[in-house]
């Protein structure tokens, strides 16, 4: 598994569905550089089970992310047409109608490959034929990208393991706090908690209060 933290987020242009039903052919995260932080996450597939719970949970907290100047963007290896259909399907029928943030269509699986969350790879058999080994879907990868387009946090879950959206918000708060105040955030830090300077005295003072 590649560690992308500290590196530029891999560039891509791909189809996406935005605003709950509009097609964009050359969607790119580059549009946010210098303007917004990005929480870019992968999910395995449309019309599945754990995935809609996460997608809708991100939508439910979208206002909180927007207040923090964070754009939320989802991605799977499904087509833009599959995304569109799922977005038109009512929740009571297993759909995600009401989701408004972009869903990227990674048909070629190259975005998942470049972010190193693809759950398989191509190889050649003894007859020289290309075969796919593993599952042609993405693990539940999540990447927090800063204003310069650099990855500052990544998390990758196996497919059965849904993510905690509150934790994603906490990480955003921690990064923005550290960038603004030049202090570091200790274990379990929440917005409003005391932080530390990177000195022995500051650490000792903080630990002495535990």
- Catalogue the active-site residues: 51
The C-alpha atoms of residue 119 and residue 135 are separated, in whole angstroms, by: 5
Exposure class string for 32-46: b at 16+ Cβ within 10 A, else e: bbeebbbbbbbbbbb
Let me know: does 114 contact 153? Beta carbons within 8 Å: no
The C-alpha atoms of residue 207 and residue 195 are separated, in whole angstroms, by: 11
Q: Which two tokens stand for residue 132?
A: 């796919």
Pairing of strands 140-145, 130-138: unpaired
């Amino acid at each position: 598994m590649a560690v992308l933290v500290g590196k530029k987020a891999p560039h891509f242009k791909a189809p996406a569905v935005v605003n709950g039903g509009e097609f964009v052919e050359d969607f790119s995260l580059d549009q946010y550089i210098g303007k917004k932080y990005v929480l870019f996450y992968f999910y395995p597939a449309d019309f599945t089970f754990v995935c809609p719970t996460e997608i809708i949970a991100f939508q439910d907290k979208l206002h909180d992310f927007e207040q923090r100047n964070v754009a939320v963007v989802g991605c799977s290896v499904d087509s833009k047409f599959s995304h569109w259909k799922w977005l038109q399907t009512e929740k009571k029928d297993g759909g995600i109608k009401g989701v408004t943030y972009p869903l990227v269509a990674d048909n070629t699986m190259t975005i998942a490959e470049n972010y190193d969350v693809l759950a398989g790879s191509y190889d050649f058999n003894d007859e020289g034929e290309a075969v796919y080994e593993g599952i042609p879907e993405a693990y539940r990868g999540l990447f927090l990208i800063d204003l310069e387009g650099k990855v500052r946090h990544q998390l990758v879950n196996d497919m059965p393991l849904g993510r905690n959206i509150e934790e994603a918000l906490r990480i955003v708060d921690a990064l923005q706090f550290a960038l603004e105040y030049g202090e570091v955030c200790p274990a379990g830090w929440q917005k409003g908690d005391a932080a530390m300077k990177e000195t022995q005295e500051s650490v000792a003072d903080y630990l002495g209060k535990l």
